[in-house]
């Protein structure tokens, strides 16, 4: 009866409420995004590369075609790519679930491999969350038998983060933007606190460990390994692990077996 309900003590009310809350299924609570995504573009199955599970890009992107790269001796990450031949598409985007406000390091990896039957890689732009990041021009590295990657640190402005590829004025007619690998990995909140990420992003300029003659050094957790380490041979010496950041645009190069070679400033 209503009168007896009004007279009930707080303790009598709390017990059934707690019972009701405990009955809510765990699936009703939204799961937090993974700590990091390692996306092998064009792959058809998950593959473990040096202890990191690289997953196919299905579900992260709509459209595009897949091509296999048959260059002997290359890493599994470079053996497939996704390219976007649609001439009417303004841009082609990967969309990643993230935690709003968290900082992420984003790395894009490119190896042309002559997938379109040409001799020179396409030139195009990469765009992050609607803002132009840099021009992707891997021509010089590819001519030297190298692959190229770019890195940037951003703060997520929403619950998703987009990485897009788009043609620019330097793109050849009929060319197709492409990508081999995409990594989006969250960083600790204590990192890079001097940067106002609501207005700025950080792009990698250099990473050095001076005087080191041992093997490649890794951080403790595989999800937050030093940027650039994932493709580097275990026998390689003088791996750079300390990053200095600025807004300049820089591409990095590696040989096809995964050896880090250096960087090239974008024009």
Q: List domains and CATH numbers for the chain.
A: 28-265 (2.60.120.430)
In angstroms, rounded to a whole number, what is the distance separating the alpha carbons of residues 147 and 71?
12
Tokens of 126: 């990469």
pTM for the whole thing? 0.72
Is 138 in contact with 112 (CB distance < 8 Å)?
Answer: yes
Token representation of residue 187: 């960083």
CB 124 within 8 A of CB 168: yes
The CA–CA distances, whole Å, from 245 to 19, 116, 205, 227 equal 52, 34, 6, 12
Phi, psi of 6 (to 5 degrees): -65, -30
Tokens found for residue 119: 């001799």
Sequential pLDDT tens for the chain (267 residues): 443 334 444 444 433 433 333 444 444 445 667 789 999 999 999 999 888 999 999 999 999 999 999 988 888 999 999 999 999 999 999 999 999 999 999 999 999 999 999 999 999 999 999 999 999 999 999 999 888 989 999 999 999 999 999 999 999 998 999 999 999 999 998 898 888 988 889 988 766 667 766 655 544 333 333 333 333 223 322 222 233 333 334 444 555 544 444 444 433
Check if the beta carbon of residue 245 is closer than 8 Å to that of residue 232.
no
Please say whether the beta carbons of 258 and 232 come within 8 A.
Answer: yes
Q: What is the length of the chain?
A: 267
CB 174 within 8 A of CB 164: no
Q: Let me know: does 237 contact 222? Beta carbons within 8 Å.
A: no
Residues in a beta bridge with 54? 47
- φ/ψ (deg, to 5) at 230: -60, -25
């Amino acid at each position: 009866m209503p009168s007896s309900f009004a007279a009930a003590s707080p303790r009598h009310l709390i017990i059934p409420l707690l019972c009701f809350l405990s009955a809510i299924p765990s699936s009703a609570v939204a799961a937090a995004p993974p700590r990091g995504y390692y996306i092998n573009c064009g792959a058809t199955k998950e593959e473990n590369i040096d202890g990191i599970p690289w997953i196919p890009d299905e579900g992260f992107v709509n459209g595009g075609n897949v091509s296999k790269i048959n260059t002997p001796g290359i890493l599994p990450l470079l053996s497939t790519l996704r390219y976007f031949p649609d001439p009417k598409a303004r841009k082609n985007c990967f969309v990643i679930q993230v935690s709003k406000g968290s900082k992420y390091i984003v790395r894009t990896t490119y190896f042309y491999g002559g997938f379109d039957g040409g001799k020179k890689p396409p030139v195009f732009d990469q765009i992050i969350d609607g803002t132009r990041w840099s021009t992707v021009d891997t021509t010089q590295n590819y001519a030297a038998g190298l692959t190229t990657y770019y890195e940037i640190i951003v703060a997520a402005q929403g619950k998703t983060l987009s990485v897009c590829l788009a043609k620019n004025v330097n793109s050849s007619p009929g060319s197709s933007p492409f990508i081999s690998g995409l990594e989006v990995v969250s960083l600790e909140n204590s990192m890079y606190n001097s940067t106002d990420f609501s207005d700025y992003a950080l792009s990698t300029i250099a990473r050095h460990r001076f005087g080191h003659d041992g093997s490649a050094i890794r951080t403790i957790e595989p999800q937050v390994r030093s940027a650039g380490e994932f493709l580097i041979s275990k026998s390689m010496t003088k791996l750079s692990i300390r990053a200095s950041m600025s807004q300049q645009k820089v591409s990095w190069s590696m040989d096809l077996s995964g050896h880090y070679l250096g960087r090239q400033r974008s024009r």
